[in-house]
Amino acid sequence: MNNKLSPLIKERLKKHRHNINILLNKIIAYDHIAIFRHIRPDYDAMGSQLGLYYWIKENFPSKDVKFLGENHVSLSPRCFPNTDVVADSWFKDNKVLAIVVDTSTKGRVSDTRYTMGDYIVKIDHHPENKKYGDIQLVETTCCAAAEFVLSIILSFGNEYVLSKRSASFFYKGIVGDSNRFMYNSTSPMTFEIAKIILETGIKLSKVYAEMYQKDMNDLEITSYILNHLQFTKKGVGYYVLDKDEMEMLHLPPERGKDNIDLFDHVKGVEIWCSITEEAKDGYFRVSIRSKEIPINGVAAKYSGGGHAQASGAKIKNLDELPNLLKDLDDLIN
Ligand code: AMP
């Protein structure tokens, strides 16, 4: 264990030590390593993926490392570089170590070729603990997969370096999944890890510009949504955008939830969601957030899941919306 790690981080990693040792030995042993994450990637999926990717490349320059999955509709390449294009033959011709980060269930892994890995490692922080892969490292007390992945690699030892580049990706993951350190999942360990990241010398203004840059069309979208906010009797706040509205706003489905934070800190709004049409796949995607009340039970009822204060779900059509809103209303006293 790295002597520089605080007692808090060491304690958090204690129960994972066996699998952490296996992971390091596998990283050392394999010449071909592929890093995966979930579909519809967010800051944490891509931040933990790219932080680990660059950490391996920089510490083991002779290894062939790839990061896979679909690009993000607006964050690639502004905030995260475009993913590697890899032929199936790369997986067939080589013994590949596949590491999947931030993905609770195998159905949500972006790029199913992780199954072609010779050895598969799952590293996650989601409460749903569905096992897949040869070993699982799951720590639900971490606010972000990036927090957990970085703590793991820091524990590998002082002989390894953490570059500014790798650290800034981990930072994006932590900031994204903690909603800028606002969710209750943010812990003393989160700040200890953030401190280690800042000590690498990353420039915060650059990181935040890459994450949150907007254009005029984004302001128009926000203005439209502000004019179409709705509230249930118990104060569940929501907005609905169907296919036509999204087309009119030039808003791709992947970005439907971009304005969900408009409800943050609104007095009387304990739970809120965005409901946006995924016309190509024939359903409405629901992102749900709350100040305190756990909402992942309701998300699970509607083909979803996630965290206590940030979950995702799906409904087939808007006829299902009243039931979903009632279930959310029922969570409020
Ligand atoms: P989102 O609303 O897409 O930002 O998702 C919030 C959280 O819920 C993230 O941690 C997602 O990984 C998780 N999540 C979103 N959709 C699903 C789903 N269909 N099944 C399981 N978890 C989900």
Closest CA to 160 of 12, 1, 49: 1
Closest CA to 154 of 167, 136, 140: 167
Tokens encoding 270:
């304990």
Closest CA to 276 of 268, 266, 284, 264: 284
Q: Which atom of ligand 1 is the closest one to the Cα of 102? A: 12
pTM of the full predicted structure?
A: 0.92
Q: How far apart are CA 100 and CA 109, in angstroms?
A: 8
Q: What's the pLDDT at 2?
A: 61
Give me ligand 1 centre to Cα 46, in Å: 14
User: Which residues surround ligand 1 with Cβ inside 6 Å?
Assistant: 38, 42, 257, 287, 303-307, 310-312
Residue 131: Cβ-neighbour burial (10 angstroms; 0-12, 13-18, 19+) = exposed
| Conformational region of residue 75, where left means phi above 0, alpha means psi within -120 to 50, and beta covers everything else | alpha
Give me ligand 1 centre to Cα 205, in Å: 28
Q: Beta strand pairing status for 135-138 and 230-231?
A: unpaired
Q: Walk along the chain (333 residues) and give the pLDDT tens digit of each residue.
A: 566 789 999 999 999 999 999 999 999 999 999 999 999 999 999 999 999 999 999 999 999 999 999 999 999 999 999 999 999 999 999 999 999 999 999 999 999 999 999 999 999 999 877 899 999 999 999 999 999 999 999 999 999 999 999 999 999 999 999 999 998 999 999 999 999 999 999 999 999 999 999 999 999 999 999 999 999 999 999 999 999 999 999 999 999 999 999 999 999 999 999 999 999 999 999 999 999 999 999 999 999 999 999 999 999 999 999 999 999 999 998
Query: What residues contact 76, with CB distance under 8 A and at least 6 apart?
Result: 46, 82, 83
